[in-house]
Structure 1
C-alpha cells in the first residue's frame, strides 16, 4: 500500500502569503471588509506551522492517486480576526474534482477544531488572505 507524503512549500520570508507582483495596494475590498495580503505580523497556527502541516497531512483523504510525481494543488483561504478560516478556494490543481473536495474538507475539519492567531497590522487584528502550495508524492 502506498503512503501519501505531503510536502508543503514555503517561501522563506512570506511563509504562506504570495502577494501579486506589482501590486500597489496591500488590501482588497470585499463586502466592506479589508483583506490584507501583507501585514506587520503574519497569522500563526496554534502549535506552529509544522503542527498545521502535520494535522493537514494526517487528516487528508483523497479519492484517487495523484496524476504523476509531485502533483500540486494551490489552496487559498482567509484568516479572520477571530483566527478562523473562511472562503476556501482551490486556485490551481492537477487533481480530480473529487480530490480537490478532499483538500477543502480537510481545511474545514481543521477550521472546526483549531484556530490561528490572527494577523496584526498597525496594532489591529485584520483579515489575511493565505495561499498554500501543496505537493503530494507517493512512496512505497
Structure 2
C-alpha cells in the first residue's frame, strides 16, 4: 500500500456525479454495510471459518471500489481470494489474518475521508465564535 492515497478521487467524483442526489444516501449504506462486513470478517477469522469470510469480503470489495476506495477494495479482494482458496483446499484461513488485522483501521480511515469529502461544508466552514461574525447562511 505504501504512500498510495486511500481514495481514487477521480473515481469518487465519477460515482458522485453518477449517483447525483442519491450519493449521500448510498454512501450511508456503504458505511452501514461496511461496518457489518468488517465485523463479519473479523468474526469469521476468529472462528477460522474461511467460507464465512467470502461474502462479506466480496461485498466490501465491490462497495469500496464503487467509491474509489481502491486500497480498501484491494485488501478485501485479498481476503476474499485467500478465503476462496482455503474453502477449495479445506484449509483454515490463517494466511488471511495479517490482512484482516489491517482491515478495520483502513476501513475507518477511508470512510472518514469519503464522508469528509461528501460534506465539505460541515468540516471546512469556519465556526462562528468569539470575535467572529456568524456567517450568513
The bucket for the TM-score relative to the shorter chain is: under 0.3
Q: Please, what TM-score do these two structures have when normalized by structure 2?
A: 0.27
> By percentage of residues, which structure has more helix?
2
- RCO higher in structure (CA 8 A, sep ≥6): 1
Larger radius of gyration: 2
TM-score (norm 1): 0.26
